[in-house]
Amino acid sequence: MKRYHLLRQLKKSGALFLAAVLTLQNGFGAWGAAPYGETETAGLSSQNSSFVSFPSRFEDVMPEGYKEQYYIFSLDSKCDLTISVTFEDSSSPYGAELLDSSLSRLGISERKNGQRLVRKEVRAGTYFLRVFSMGEQEEPQPFTVSIQKMDLSASTVKKTDFSDLHMVAALQGSDSPYQMNGRSPYYTSVPNPDTGQIVWEKLENPSYSGRGVNSGGTYPMPQSYYSSWLGPVEESALPMDSIRDLEGSETYEEYDKYLQEEGIVYESGYEPAIHVQNGIALPKRYRFINGDGSEEENPGWEEHLKNAIMTYGGVTAGIYWGSLACEKPENYYFNGWEYYLLRYDNGNPVYTLANDFDRGNIAMVNHEVVIVGWDDNYSKDNFRYVIDRDVEPLPDATASNALKALPESEPEPSAKKARVQKATDSNADMEIPERGDDDDDRRPQKATDSDADYEEPEQRPKTAEEEELEEWLNSMLPEEDGAWIVRNSWGDSAGEDGYYYVSYCDRRLVSTDNAWAYEATETADNYNKMYQLTSLPYNAELIWTTTANQLMTSTVFTAEEDAADVLKAVSFDLLNNNVHYEIAVNQGDDVGKGWNEENVYASGSKMYAGYYTVRLDKTILLQPGEPFEIILKIENDGSETLAVPMVMNNSGIANIPKQKRICFLYDPAEGEDWIDMGNGFMEDNRSNNYYAYFSMKALCNDASLEEGKTEQISELEIDPDVYYPMTEHTSEENETEGEVLSGQEEETCYVYEGHILQTQEKPSLRETGQAGELDIMLPESFDLRDAGVLTPVRDQRFTNTCWAFGSTAAVESSYLLNGSNLYDFNYSSAVSLDTQLPITEEGTVLYYFDQNDEGTMDDARFCPSLLSWDNGPVEDENDKLKWEFSGDLSAVDFSELDGETDGTRMTESGEEVLLFTPKASGTLTVKVSSASDPTKTAACQVVLVEENQVDRIQIFPETMRLRVGSTQTLQVSIEGGDTETVPVFSSDNPGIASVDDKGTVIGLRRGTTVIRARAGGKEASCTVEVWDSRGSSGRGSESRQSGRSQDSSAVVGTWTMAEDGSWSFSSGETVYRDSWGYLHNPYANQGNGESGWFRFDSEGKMVVGWYQDLDGRWYYLNPVSDGSLGKMLTGWQWIPDASGREYCYYFYPDSGSPMGSMAAGLTTPDGYSVNEQGRWCVDGEEQTR
């Protein structure tokens, strides 16, 4: 894996000693083939360890002088894992071992012809793949490594079926608590004649036509649905099959009423199947389209679109679907020509043909499709139009004679049924429609294969008129070859099994609307609690812009009482391309005091606008009932206007209340003060007093929640049936007028005061700057259908819901693509990251430095590489690699990296880079990714420790038992050195127990891990066992066999017996009092020693016999002096009472209940009954002996 030559000699003897200690701790493993369970790790070093992206596939060779290689990778969420190691020479086999962050074995394979490891429901965290030689080799032989999510079978694709209509019901259903009530059929908006503002009035008779669930959709409605965890849910929650079609003489409005009140009805109680963490807004084709039809195209937009399809899956995009059909039903092309209703002749419609573009109608989006591929060589001749015979030409229509020349035998194509009835001249001024299907015919009817049944007319010489017609039809063909492959939502009988080819020259596919790609790569249990201000979406036209190149938004949440919240990630929306962001989290006295560099927990850059979920560098323990503040800082280079979206009352939403002191904005162009957005601010437009919020979301893990449950906490109380007015002034009197009105009182107030909204929505993001050219090689054709990751095409039928069908299909394809083992072998398959710094057992990079020793200040040298599946050349080998950093950014200096890269922080594959110079102790996350494919990302955590005169560091307690959701703060004692030396804390497995900067540990799920404190080149550790009072549901449980001694985490110290016969224990200067300890007992096992759990009282005396903890649970500590006095007993135990009669009790043998606690009033895991006293019973009778 080492593709470069770094200086391998460790510069500091301390680092060399550490590497030796790590090697000794792991033991010296047998290099040859070994039986299962006997292979031991030989030790990590920077020379035989690499950080790699997940998933990945690559070829490698064992580094010189080593017989094992470690690949360190991270899982962001739980997944089924499959690993293979293959090699051609069976006489020189390699074995494979999977280890967790504590180097405990999860699986091993030692076959002669290749290795495969399969592990289901592997939790998020850091893992090691150890590849080791199973025999002597004269020369190192290559091997191929594959680290993947488990293969998706065809049945998995068929089972992937998310509900399209649930999204519609959640956002537009009148029974949904998340309803965008501005679309409600029960209200109407009318302009106030005095102010021109929009006033909302309740209708005596609801108007269902084009309202509510059948009103169409706009961005960012789907994005808000996903980011708020409202979905996606399984199809069974609201199946399309439950919706009936239009019946008989039923009018469209009657059908809309049925859909609103009976059909697309929201039901609560459904958990999202996955978390769609990121939505990526790809560059639109045109920066703008003027009213006269003139356009300005964004250069390179096609490359961004194609790259996204290969990387993320299907891309959902808007299109204008016109009424002209091509000869072949699977092809579609719009170049402005449309059928228009000219007049009625004896009640029969008469149509004409005209070009929208020539007549000043820019023909914006009216439908949604999913782009799933492309073909650069698809012939333009496939897009020849077929014209109806009975079309009457306009006097000024182009080629009117050609229209007259249509032959009498011309068959009537299905396209005739697809005419959209338009007024001839009024369309130039028509309002741009919402994203949805045509209101008149719901959608154009499809050309079908029925046309294939007609017989070709007998060949005869063409007349001059017919030649003119052919020449005219040829002139309507696209100018060049090439087509996008799109998936429609009209069922598999339309087009080619539901798919169409759309010409590259179609100017209304991805026109002024962003196409959207999704990353659906995380399981629904990655976080289980969300804090947000509201689940309602922002409005694309209601934004804050600045003349500065920086904006900061602050959102204040309040943690729930009696919760055990750990903040793990932050979700936010971006309106600009090429944005650098930083995220700070303030707690306690820091809340409300603005930006604090010391509280930055994440940073990075985003090439595209969209919504994103960013994991924090460290998990943050939230204090129950206390406020916490998240500040998002965004910056750009000033080449485009920087903006942030705002959640406000508008034409689609009218139920957002006013609340102070929860949302703030800092705009350097407006001065030094933070603006309270919930307190209202003056806007020039009609001098209204507006208030607004941001769409920030805080994603947490609450250990107190029942497994499998999620919770969304909204700071704003939203009622879909309550409409809020905007007051004209900030006086207390007018604030009172703006309070919530409901029921009959609300209806009365509409007559006198009205409920005012401002600004109509448009179906796209604001104008964004160019994302930049990708400079990558793309194949001439690509089709996700060939990859097997597309679900069956669905039919929206008579519902106006194409926007939901498009987004759902795109998310499904992203989920399946990212869950399969697909690689285009012409392109790189992974990213690796190597360093010369020592790598610890828990998979972190350790950097000891001394500012007085220049030789230690330039060691942060890293080398990233694009890997290929066969170690051969790839077409993107010159692709740039992008660096991102988060954590204690103030502890390092990036000036040299920024100087070498002109501030871009982008370098070449295989190039050794000095990333930073250390300034202080801290923890930094380093991440490198392919600039064109951010799914290929390798990352590592660097622990920075400044060497000084620290003589000793101690931690108390050295062992800890925590219930899931509970906390305990470690005490650290540092001797010698600077009195201001601050320890750096880390957890070997943050998924089990997380630690903050102050040493407070919280238990997250059952298991055992190690918390480490480092300072001045010294280290101390505490072994933490986490138990779960809720018991185990059986999900995610693991049985593991360690590659190291089972007693390696036991504390070794001094046992002392007092005059009264009681025992105490100390380790160094730490005396165990009022605590549990996992300790080594040298007197047990006939003097060979063993380890176990012991309990000590407040005086430090070891407890024996029965012991009850503060939660009321009973334990039994061995009272017999048999060499294991005081050790916690587990399993079935016969214990005598005061009379000597023995009863049988069961004590849990693992940490789930918790370990050692007595079972009472239940059936034990092995099927026996115990009563409330914990005694074994048969037919209700206590068993004795």
Statement to judge: residues 554 and 618 lie in one domain: yes
Statement to judge: residues 477 and 608 lie in one domain: no
Return the structure tokens found at 254: 């009657």
Identify whether 134 is part of a domain: yes
Identify whether 717 is part of a domain: yes
Higher-confidence residue of 650 and 384: namely: 384
Angle at 1107 between CA 1106 and CA 1113, to 5 degrees: 115
Q: Is the peptide bond before 957 cis (omega within 30 degrees of 0)?
A: yes
Mean pLDDT on 279-286 = 92
Q: Residue 1056: in which H helix or E strand, if any? A: strand 1054-1057
Statement to judge: residues 981 and 892 lie in one domain: no
d(CA 507, CA 503): 9
CATH, residue 1032: 2.60.40.1080
What is the domain range of residue 206?
Answer: 157-269+785-817
Statement to judge: residues 1031 and 911 lie in one domain: no
Q: Please choose, from the candidates 1068, 1072, 1067, the residue with its C-alpha nearest in 3D space to the C-alpha of residue 1101.
A: 1072
Looking at the predicted structure, is the pLDDT value of residue 490 above 60? yes
CATH, residue 36: 2.60.120.380
* Phi, psi angle pair for 840, to nearest 5°: -85, 170
Mean pLDDT on 1152-1171 = 88
Mean pLDDT on 353-376 = 88
Q: State the average pLDDT for the chain.
A: 80
For 279, the 3-state DSSP assignment is strand
Mean pLDDT on 1114-1133 = 91
Residue pLDDT, tens place only, 984-1035: 998 988 888 989 888 999 988 888 889 999 988 888 999 898 887 654 433 3
**What pLDDT, on the 0 to 100 scale, is given for residue 5?**
33
Looking at the predicted structure, is the pLDDT value of residue 891 above 70? yes
Statement to judge: residues 961 and 928 lie in one domain: no
In the chain, what percentage of residues exceed pLDDT 70?
Answer: 79
d(CA 864, CA 126): 19
Identify whether 775 is part of a domain: no
d(CA 144, CA 829): 12
Helix 802-817 vs helix 165-172: crossing angle, to nearest 10? 130
**What pLDDT, on the 0 to 100 scale, is given for residue 400?**
55
**What pLDDT, on the 0 to 100 scale, is given for residue 192?**
67
Asked whether 738 and 658 are in contact (CB, 8 A), the reply is: yes
Return the exposure string of 497-513: e unless at least 16 CB atoms fall within 10 Å of the residue's CB, then b. Answer: ebbbbbbbbbbbbbbbb
Q: Of 768, 800, 817, which marks where a domain is finished?
A: 817
Mean pLDDT on 870-895 = 79
**What pLDDT, on the 0 to 100 scale, is given for residue 21?**
33
Statement to judge: residues 552 and 427 lie in one domain: no
d(CA 395, CA 987): 80
Strand-pair category, 984-987 with 993-995: unpaired
Residue pLDDT, tens place only, 680-708: 665 444 434 578 999 999 999 998 888 77
**What pLDDT, on the 0 to 100 scale, is given for residue 610?**
95
How far, rounded to the nearest angstrom, does the alpha carbon of residue 81 sit from its chain's CA centroid? Answer: 19
Strand-pair category, 68-75 with 49-52: parallel
d(CA 1185, CA 1177): 13
Place of tokens 């998020």: 124
Identify whether 674 is part of a domain: yes
Statement to judge: residues 1063 and 1080 lie in one domain: yes
Looking at the predicted structure, is the pLDDT value of residue 554 above 60? yes
**What pLDDT, on the 0 to 100 scale, is given for residue 328?**
92
- 866 CB contacts (<8 Å, ≥6 apart)? 828, 830, 831, 874, 876, 877, 879, 881, 909, 930, 936
Residue pLDDT, tens place only, 966-985: 889 999 988 876 667 889 99
Statement to judge: residues 389 and 246 lie in one domain: no
- Name the E strands within 647-774: 663-666, 675-676, 681-682, 689-690, 697-702, 711-714, 755-757
**What pLDDT, on the 0 to 100 scale, is given for residue 886?**
84
Mean pLDDT on 801-825 = 79
Mean pLDDT on 389-402 = 60
**What pLDDT, on the 0 to 100 scale, is given for residue 982?**
85
Residue pLDDT, tens place only, 251-277: 989 999 999 999 999 999 899 988 998
Instruction: Give the range among 237-241, 313-317, 1138-1142 with minimum mean pLDDT.
Output: 1138-1142
Instruction: Give the range among 102-106, 446-450, 524-528, 1023-1027 with minimum mean pLDDT.
Output: 446-450
Q: % helix / strand / coil in the chain, to the nearest 5?
A: 15, 35, 50
d(CA 625, CA 560): 5
**What pLDDT, on the 0 to 100 scale, is given for residue 911?**
92
Asked whether 286 and 512 are in contact (CB, 8 A), the reply is: yes
Identify whether 762 is part of a domain: no
Higher-confidence residue of 773 and 1097: namely: 1097
In the chain, what percentage of residues exceed pLDDT 90?
Answer: 41
* Phi, psi angle pair for 561, to nearest 5°: -65, 150
Looking at the predicted structure, is the pLDDT value of residue 757 above 50? no
Cα dihedral 865/870/874/877 (nearest 10) = 10
Return the structure tokens found at 500: 């169409």
DSSP code string of 342-398: EEEETTEEEEEEEETTTTT------EEEEEEEEETT--GGGG-EE--TTPPPPTT-T
How far, rounded to the nearest angstrom, does the alpha carbon of residue 177 sit from its chain's CA centroid? Answer: 24
Strand-pair category, 697-702 with 565-574: antiparallel
Identify whether 246 is part of a domain: yes
Looking at the predicted structure, is the pLDDT value of residue 730 above 50? no
Identify whether 773 is part of a domain: no
**What pLDDT, on the 0 to 100 scale, is given for residue 748?**
24
Sign of the alpha-carbon dihedral angle for 588, 590, 594, 596: negative
Looking at the predicted structure, is the pLDDT value of residue 853 above 50? yes
d(CA 856, CA 844): 18
Statement to judge: residues 124 and 195 lie in one domain: no
Number of domains in the chain: 6
**What pLDDT, on the 0 to 100 scale, is given for residue 822?**
45
Statement to judge: residues 441 and 374 lie in one domain: yes
Radius of gyration of the chain (CA): 34
Higher-confidence residue of 141 and 620: namely: 620
- 1061 CB contacts (<8 Å, ≥6 apart)? none
Identify whether 521 is part of a domain: no
Statement to judge: residues 623 and 736 lie in one domain: yes
d(CA 1081, CA 1065): 10
685: DSSP letter: G
**What pLDDT, on the 0 to 100 scale, is given for residue 726?**
42
Q: Of 1120, 1149, 1171, which marks where a domain is finished?
A: 1120
Statement to judge: residues 478 and 621 lie in one domain: no
Other beta carbons less than 10 A from residue 89's beta carbon: 11
Residue pLDDT, tens place only, 178-207: 998 888 898 877 766 666 566 677 888 999
| 179, amino acid identity | Q
